[in-house]
Amino acid sequence: MARKKITVVGAGFVGATLAQRLAEMELGDVVVVDIPATEQMPAGKALDITESAPIYGYDCKITGTTSYEASAGSDVVIITAGIPRKPGMSRDDLLNTNAKIVSSVTENIAKTSPNAILIIVSNPLDAMCLVALRTSKFPKHRVLGMAGVLDSARMRSFIAEALEVSMENVHAMVLGGHGDTMVPLPRFSTVAGIPITELLSKEKISAINQRTRDGGAEIVKLLKTGSAYYAPSASAAEMVEAILKDKKKILPCAVYLEGEYGVDGVFVGVPCKLGARGLEQIVQLNLTVDERAELMKSASAVKELAAALK
């Protein structure tokens, strides 16, 4: 069986870390693409990752390049190209700069890898997904945004810390846009199957919810020169694995909604079944009136930002 081909666009912090993770997971051959201005940097990173292969024992080929030739015919393409935020900036401040970058990248990808499944990582996430969908003209099941996996992983780590239990025991569900209005759902967040609403006080849960919403900003504040990349790359890698191994894994992802959850015409994070065809099913949760209202508020914020796209 021929190896799968995965392209990562953007060889910066998120992209390069993701390339390393994909190689170590042996999910396929990996091509990392960046802009010509970065000269041979992508080739350098690819060679460095290749030289760690004998130690980890993976056999995929890693290529770093500034043209799309080597990436042609990719099965999955992850777009991490763009500028990251600096302290004091919101993800929304990146809107028009990153929209231009994501649309030019998508144009190249649509030409060279017309059957690929796209995973968008560039921020502001939900708006960048819309740019990719419109530019690629791919069907909506092949354009996914990475946000919910990351936000849920952050929430999971805070829950595990609060209860002093294994990270493996903790599941969490964060829906909505990838911004201040994201919607952590404690009723659907569990420790060994027990909802955290039975394990933690209301105050503690509300503190965890808020830390989850501020999770990206907390890292930006600490790093000062850029934004998170270890957890974002791990989250994107989990989505790639679900697709390439056709796992039918249910993960919160940003997808284009057309009436599901009462939302229409924007990308919003909802629980999705990921498999070989990309998005295979949107899972409907039975939300309370308050949870639904929060999701609607988040969807409106995403809509407003989408409307500001030039």
Question: Which residues of the shown chain bind ligand APR in the complex (CB under 6 A)?
Answer: 9-15, 33-35, 38, 80-85, 94, 98, 101, 104-105, 121-123, 226-227, 229, 232
CB closer to ligand APR out of 97 and 210: 97
Q: How far is the CB of 285 from ligand APR (least distance, A)?
A: 26
Rounded Cα distance between 105 and 33, Å, is 10
**CA-based nearest residue to 127, from 94, 149, 83:** 94
Could you give the angle at the alpha carbon of 108 between the alpha carbons of 105 and 110, nearest 5°?
105
Give the rounded distance of the alpha carbon of 260 from its chain centre.
20
| Contact of 68 with 281, CB cutoff 8 Å | no
Q: How far is the CB of 197 from ligand APR (least distance, A)?
A: 31
CB closer to ligand APR out of 121 and 268: 121
Q: How far is the CB of 209 from ligand APR (least distance, A)?
A: 21
Q: How far is the CB of 182 from ligand APR (least distance, A)?
A: 15
Rounded Cα distance between 33 and 63, Å, is 8
CB closer to ligand APR out of 77 and 185: 77
CB closer to ligand APR out of 38 and 181: 38
Give the rounded distance of the alpha carbon of 135 from its chain centre.
19
Q: Which single residue is written with the structure tokens 């846009």?
A: 177
- Options 178, 191, 216, 240, the catalytic residue: 178
Active site residue 141: no
Inter-CA distances, 54 with 17, 31, 234, Å: 18, 19, 22
Residues annotated as part of the active site: 178
